[in-house]
Amino acid sequence: MEKKIKVAHVIRVFSYGGAEVLLRECFAHPYFKENVESDLYILDHKKLGLAEEVKPNVNSFHSYKISSLKFLIEYIKFLRSIINNKYDVVHTHLPAAGWMTIPARLFNSKTKFIYSEHNLVTFYTKYNYYLIGLVYGFFDCLIFVSHEVGKIVRKMHKGWFFKTKKTVIILNGVNTDKFSNMYRNTENLNEKFTVGLVARFRPQKRVDKWVEVAAAVYKLNPKIKFLMVGDGPDDAMLHHKIHSLKLQGKIELPGMLSDTVTAFKRIHIFLLTSDFEGLPLALMEAMSAGCVPVVSNVGGIKQLEFDGFGYRFDKFNANEIANVIVNYAANANKFKDESLKAHAFAEKNYSLTKHVHEIVELYKALLNEK
């Protein structure tokens, strides 16, 4: 048996965002565990929602108080650990982890440094945009989660800014066995037809627009249910929006749940009103679970070739979107047909096994380079 590849995975937080959930799934995958010895580094100790779930599947787990008065001490401690452990690969995710980790490269010439870009860089905060853009050229390889993500990076490239050595596109993957649609055959759509969202409530998700659609749907069909699973920086704005549209008690808000499988089983229409996306993992999970997508046509979603299922909108119009959703609720055969197609699409194009194999093969290819 070949020696396992020693990899440090670095990310700023480990809550319930798409990048974190995907890492959790990768760590648990048999092929990944067979080939990779993973150490996980979390830069912000305050957001560790998925920590206990991944600890059994990683070699070691580290978190640091980067967002505290001990920043400098904690940062030096983190860099020393990355440097002293002599990893084969250091794999960073999202901008803060990328630019904060890259100084370790000066002391690890044999280690391969990889950065995964999960979002459209033009939507990052200014400091993340400029800092990650300046260090792009120091990575041995950039992974883009969609063609659109890579396209935007190429547009931004100027001189050293967003310079790339090697790039690959590895699409996000989902465990299609775990997120199954088998239960859909026995559903009674007249009982609890539900419009749902599973997400980290960040500004780009535009949960205010989501609530506007819910209000429009409720006026057309008050029997339809609403479920928003998640939390985040826009929590207060979300509650204010719900109150202003008099939807208190109409939208179920359980907070963030680690068991998203159960949530997706309750959802029939996965409504996403984001201003931008890379390639949202939650959307892949939703489709795999048989949810029909009604989503804004932005970022990596543009590359998804929905064939005979779902609805994408280029311009936001709450009433038009509501009419589409209500039509699904009124037509059980239409919903069930498109639900099957959504699962088949996810299973064919975005399986976790495919994703894991591509990541491991990339590690091996980089280490074989002279």
Say which CATH number the domain at 123 has: 3.40.50.2000
- 133-158 core/surface letters (b: 16 or more CB in 10 A; e: else): bebbbbbbbbbbbbebbbebbeeeee
Same domain? For 167 and 248 the reply is no
* Global pTM value: 0.78
Whether 220 and 339 map to the same domain: the answer is: yes
155 and 200 share one domain: no
Of 1-10, 83-92, 148-157, 178-187, where does the model show the most confidence? 83-92
In 3-state terms, what secondary structure has residue 165?
coil
Residues forming a β-bridge with 62: 41
- Domain match, 111 and 140 both: yes
Are 360 and 328 within one domain?
Answer: no
φ, ψ dihedrals at 204, nearest 5°: -65, -15
What is the residue type of 293? Answer: P
Is the domain of 230 the same as that of 311?
yes
The reply to whether 153 and 212 lie within a common domain is no
Residue-level pLDDT at 256 = 84
Let me know whether 147 and 204 are in one domain. no
How many domains does the structure of the chain reveal? 2
Q: Point out which residues pair with 144 in neighbouring strands.
A: 117, 169
Same domain, 112 and 193: no
Least confident of 43-52, 179-188, 306-315: 179-188
Q: What are the CA-CA distances from residue 24 to residues 15, 340, 352 (Å)? A: 10, 26, 11
Give the range of the structural domain holding residue 270, as residue numbers without chain letter.
182-349
Give the span between the Cα atoms of 358 and 362, in whole angstroms: 6
Q: Residue 7: pLDDT above 80?
A: yes
One domain for residues 22 and 159 = yes
Tens of pLDDT, residues 266-312: 999 999 999 988 888 899 999 999 999 999 999 889 888 888 999 99
Are 226 and 166 contained in the same domain?
no
